[in-house]
């Protein structure tokens, strides 16, 4: 029977069942199941018919809870959904005053919308160099196609064809090719987006072996189609512009133009290449002054600040243009030297390059830009990858950092005395209590019994206060087991003036009281190696003074940040002797990556170790690698790296064949005056070799220069942990080796194709006394 206290109403009840939650985490529970422990459940019909008529105020709180399938919500529909939620909330409040929206996806969707907008902007700006290379590739191929048909266009124009009709022909061709490219490109975009969703690192090979669990499911949105249509439009424009220029010539003006280069490129005539040097060098000057790039709101996160990368990219582009201005002078000088040497093949090669440099500007610029951007982006990505590992391992110290608490004998004694109460009142303390240690610990070597643990070391971190010249300075001191520590700790030689970790531990081994001191502390207090140092050590509320001898300086040390004050490293046993016993410490573990850290932690606890907290470096690295901003950036950089390499290879192969076709008469004349097939092959191969060597050398040099110049400034962030340890710029030679191998294969294929064309060439067909169409 249910009693209502307000009016003594009695409501008979019959219990028909007992419930318990199957899954406490199921979305069905709009409140935690424990909130219903003192409530009775009934059906809506029973409540309306039997309960409501009896109670004066039957309904205290009404809750409407509905679950919706959000799988169809897309970024483009977030704003509309939020507006509809606002409308529903306003209407509900108007119908029933006091209605509130307690649980909804509004906040999450608002954050998602902001993140989506930022990520879209980031990837768009990051893709600008790749888009530029693709458009330049398309324009290069379009120019080759139009140039090959220039004679035919000139004949059309001479026979009365209008420029509009010529453009119409190329427009239809472009629309057909663009339509096929649009269909194939949209499908390819979905596959690339799926691969980018698996990306963890730059050129991550694991993306090809993903099992599909938790895989990103890309959706073809209207925005993506719009971007694709814009790309097709730009490609059509790249085709129509050279067609329009070619349609302006008749046979006479075309032959006049072919005889000599009428005009230098626009960027050379107006010195745009020189003007383009101003922004990147001004950006570098500002970086030297400020030490970091600060754009788009302060640059707390390099992945949220894409403009950080545009300055070095513009640097590579502008210097590549300037180098192309100087390229004819260099080739001309080499041709002059070749005149002094015996043989004709080398001289012909260099003279051809020196006299017709305008023909090679496009492929050479494509190659140098591709290599410079690939070198910079690959080096930047590899540097970011390595720094992420260094940064997290520096914070953690080792693979696994366990904060363990021993048994506090003092607290146990107090609890025992409180439990005994008045039953035992000893007038004197038991014998031996004064010698009993404050803390009891299991041997650290027992950690090696846990499956997956390869090495273990004790590391105690305590407070340290020094008093020099009447000025107190607070800092942190690490106590280490010097033998075990070197086996587990993360370390880089630049932490201590390029001295190895083993050398530092040997310094501590000379005397038990030896201590390593932060270099800033030594300089600030005019201390030197060998000087004595007294510190007040604090651990678990206990303080003791300890004497040390300075054994060496440190710039950095794992888990210690100079911005937080001076830090010291000493022998842990010496610290405990000064404190009068063993005090709580952390245990740093070197672990097997195949064994999950959760299993290692559980195994450690099963042995009796009191693990309070655990820091897993590998898990934290994985969490950072799966950030959408990072996945998008590294996926885009990987795709751009490969796409640029493939497009450049295709561009050079097409150029080699088209160039051969355009120079058929010239090559036929060379054969007619006596050059053998072997000499012709060497002549054509020499041209390709010089161009590839020049482009690869220039592109690699610019990319490496930009990497060493700008990547150190990309280390931005908030707090001391973001900039410690500093970047070590890594040049991605391994990744660049992939491109070099592609170019080598391209060169071999191009030479074989050219040799085959030369061997099949008939002199009487190549040499014509008149027009060659």
Helices (H) and strands (E) in the chain, counts: 26, 13
State which H helix or E strand residue 589 sits in.
strand 585-591
Tens digits of residue pLDDT in 610-625: 889 999 999 999 888 8
Its pTM stands at 0.77
If DSSP codes are grouped into helix, strand and coil, which group holds residue 219?
A: coil
Confidence of residue 90 (pLDDT cuts 50, 70, 90): confident
Separation of alpha carbons 765 and 761, rounded Å: 8
Cβ(475)–Cβ(613) below 8 Å: no
DSSP 138-171: HHHHHHHHHHHTHHHHHHHHHTT--HHHHHHHHH
Confidence of residue 7 (pLDDT cuts 50, 70, 90): low
Contacts of 578 (CB under 8 A, 6+ apart): 537, 544, 545, 546
Cβ(671)–Cβ(761) below 8 Å: yes
Task: Give the CA radius of gyration of the chain.
Answer: 37
Measured in whole angstroms, the distance separating CA 571 from the mean position of its chain's CA atoms is 39
Q: Is the pLDDT of residue 386 over 50?
A: yes
Tens digits of residue pLDDT in 714-735: 776 655 667 788 888 999 898 8
If DSSP codes are grouped into helix, strand and coil, which group holds residue 616?
A: strand
Confidence of residue 117 (pLDDT cuts 50, 70, 90): confident
Q: Is the pLDDT of residue 307 over 70?
A: no
DSSP 8-state assignment for residue 49: I
Q: Pseudo-torsion of CA 420, 422, 423, 429, nearest 10°? A: 70
% residues pLDDT > 90 (the chain): 23
State which H helix or E strand residue 546 sits in.
strand 542-554
Separation of alpha carbons 72 and 124, rounded Å: 24
Cβ(689)–Cβ(353) below 8 Å: no
Separation of alpha carbons 84 and 597, rounded Å: 45
Structure tokens at 329: 């002078």
Query: Which of 761-764's residues contact partners 24+ apart within 8 Å by CB, and which partners?
Result: 761/664, 761/667, 761/668, 761/671, 763/668, 763/671, 763/672
Q: Is the pLDDT of residue 430 over 60?
A: no
Contacts of 486 (CB under 8 A, 6+ apart): 501, 502, 505
If DSSP codes are grouped into helix, strand and coil, which group holds residue 661?
A: helix
Segment 660-668 shows an average pLDDT of 76
CA 669 vs CA 409, 419, 665: distances in Å: 101, 112, 6
Segment 463-472 shows an average pLDDT of 85
Structure tokens at 389: 């590992």
Structure tokens at 437: 């240690």
State which H helix or E strand residue 516 sits in.
strand 514-518
The domain segmentation of the chain, as residue ranges, is: 1-67, 73-104, 406-415+437-609
- pLDDT value of residue 460: 92
Confidence of residue 150 (pLDDT cuts 50, 70, 90): confident
Residue holding tokens 């950036």? 633
Separation of alpha carbons 603 and 284, rounded Å: 53
If DSSP codes are grouped into helix, strand and coil, which group holds residue 612?
A: strand
Separation of alpha carbons 126 and 360, rounded Å: 28
Contacts of 689 (CB under 8 A, 6+ apart): 747
Cβ(541)–Cβ(547) below 8 Å: no
Segment 81-108 shows an average pLDDT of 83
- pLDDT value of residue 209: 63
CA 123 vs CA 188, 437, 635: distances in Å: 18, 60, 10
Exposed / middle / buried, residue 471 (Cβ in 10 Å: 0-12, 13-18, 19+): exposed
Structure tokens at 337: 């030297």
CA atoms within 13 A of residue 410's CA, in its CB half-sphere? 10
Range among 95-99, 347-351, 468-472, 596-600 rated most confident: 596-600
Confidence of residue 479 (pLDDT cuts 50, 70, 90): very high
Separation of alpha carbons 712 and 727, rounded Å: 6
Q: Is the pLDDT of residue 505 over 60?
A: yes
* Size of the chain, expressed as the number of residues it contains: 773
Tens digits of residue pLDDT in 189-202: 888 888 887 787 77
Please report which residue ranges of 549-616 form alpha helices under DSSP H. 572-579, 597-606
Cβ(698)–Cβ(371) below 8 Å: yes
Structure tokens at 582: 């063993």
Q: Is the pLDDT of residue 670 over 70?
A: yes
Q: Is the pLDDT of residue 304 over 80?
A: no
Separation of alpha carbons 358 and 22, rounded Å: 76
CA 114 vs CA 101, 223, 304, 694, 701: distances in Å: 22, 17, 12, 45, 39
Tens digits of residue pLDDT in 17-46: 888 888 888 878 877 888 888 788 888 888
At residue 568, what are phi and psi to the nearest 5 degrees?
-135, 155
């Amino acid at each position: 029977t249910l009693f209502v206290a307000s009016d003594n109403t009695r409501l008979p009840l019959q219990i028909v069942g007992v419930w318990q939650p199957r899954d406490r985490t199921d979305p069905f529970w709009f409140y935690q199941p424990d909130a219903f422990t003192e409530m009775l459940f009934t059906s809506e019909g029973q409540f309306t018919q039997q309960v409501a008529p009896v109670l004066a105020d039957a309904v205290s709180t009404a809750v409407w809870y509905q679950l919706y399938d959000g799988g169809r919500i897309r970024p483009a529909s977030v704003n509309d959904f939020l507006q509809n939620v606002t409308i529903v909330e306003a209407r509900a409040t108007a119908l029933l005053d006091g209605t509130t929206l307690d649980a909804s996806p509004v906040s999450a969707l608002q954050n998602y919308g902001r993140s989506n907008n930022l990520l879209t902007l980031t990837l768009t700006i990051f893709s600008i160099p790749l888009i530029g290379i693709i458009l330049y590739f398309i324009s290069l191929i379009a120019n080759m196609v139009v140039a090959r048909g220039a004679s035919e266009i000139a004949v059309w124009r001479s026979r009365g064809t209008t420029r509009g009709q010529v453009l119409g022909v190329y427009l239809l061709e472009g629309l057909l090719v663009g339509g096929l490219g649009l269909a194939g490109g949209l499908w390819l975009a979905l596959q690339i987006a799926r691969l980018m969703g698996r990306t963890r690192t730059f050129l991550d090979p694991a993306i090809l072996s993903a099992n599909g669990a938790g895989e990103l499911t890309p959706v073809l949105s209207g925005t993506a189609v719009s971007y694709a249509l814009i790309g097709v439009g730009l490609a059509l424009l790249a085709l129509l512009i050279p067609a329009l220029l070619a349609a302006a010539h008749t046979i006479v003006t075309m032959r006049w133009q072919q005889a000599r280069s009428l005009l230098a490129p626009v960027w050379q005539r107006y010195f745009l290449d020189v003007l383009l040097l101003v922004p990147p060098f001004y950006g570098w000057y500002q970086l030297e002054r400020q030490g970091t790039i600060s754009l788009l709101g302060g640059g707390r996160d390099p992945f949220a600040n894409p403009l950080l990368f545009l300055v070095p990219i513009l640097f590579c582009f502008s210097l590549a243009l300037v180098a192309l201005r100087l390229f004819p002078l260099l080739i001309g000088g080499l041709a002059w030297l070749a005149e002094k040497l015996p043989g004709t093949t080398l001289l012909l090669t260099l003279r051809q390059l020196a006299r017709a440099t305008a023909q090679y500007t496009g492929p050479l610029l494509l190659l140098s830009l591709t290599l410079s951007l690939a070198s910079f982006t690959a080096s930047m990505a590899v540097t970011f990858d390595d720094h992420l590992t260094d940064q997290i391992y520096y914070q953690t110290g080792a693979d696994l950092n366990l904060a363990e608490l021993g048994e506090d004998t003092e607290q146990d004694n107090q609890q025992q005395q409180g439990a005994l109460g008045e039953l035992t009142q000893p007038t004197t303390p038991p014998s031996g209590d004064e010698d009993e240690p404050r803390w009891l610990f299991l041997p650290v070597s027992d950690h090696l019994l846990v499956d997956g643990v390869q090495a273990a070391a004790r590391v105690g971190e305590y407070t340290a206060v020094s008093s020099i010249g009447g000025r107190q300075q607070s800092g942190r001191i690490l106590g280490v087991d010097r033998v075990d520590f070197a086996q587990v700790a993360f370390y880089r030689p630049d932490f201590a003036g390029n001295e190895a970790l083993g050398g530092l531990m040997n310094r501590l081994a000379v005397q038990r009281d030896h201590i390593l001191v932060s270099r800033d502390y030594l300089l600030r207090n005019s201390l030197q190696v060998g000087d004595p140092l007294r510190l007040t050590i604090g651990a678990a509320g206990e303080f003791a003074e300890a004497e040390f001898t300075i054994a060496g300086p440190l710039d950095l040390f794992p888990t210690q940040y100079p911005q937080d004050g001076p830090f010291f490293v000493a022998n842990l046993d010496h610290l405990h002797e000064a404190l009068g016993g063993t005090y709580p410490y952390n245990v740093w573990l070197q672990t097997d990556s195949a064994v999950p850290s959760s299993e290692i932690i559980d195994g450690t606890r099963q042995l009796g170790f009191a693990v309070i907290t655990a820091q897993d470096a590998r898990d934290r690295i994985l969490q950072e690698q799966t950030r959408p901003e990072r996945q998008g950036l590294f996926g885009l950089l990987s795709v751009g790296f490969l796409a640029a390499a493939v497009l450049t290879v295709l561009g050079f192969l097409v150029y080699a064949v088209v160039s051969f076709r355009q120079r058929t008469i010239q090559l036929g004349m060379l054969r007619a005056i006596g050059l053998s097939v072997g000499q012709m092959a060497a002549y054509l191969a020499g041209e390709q070799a010089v161009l590839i060597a020049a482009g690869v050398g220039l592109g690699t040099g610019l990319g490496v220069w930009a990497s060493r110049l700008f990547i150190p400034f990309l280390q931005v962030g908030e707090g001391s942990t973001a900039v410690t340890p500093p970047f070590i710029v890594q040049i991605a030679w391994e990744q660049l080796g992939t491109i070099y191998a592609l170019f080598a294969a391209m060169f071999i294929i191009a030479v074989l194709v050219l040799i085959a064309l030369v061997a099949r060439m008939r002199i009487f067909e190549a040499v014509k006394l008149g027009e060659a169409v």
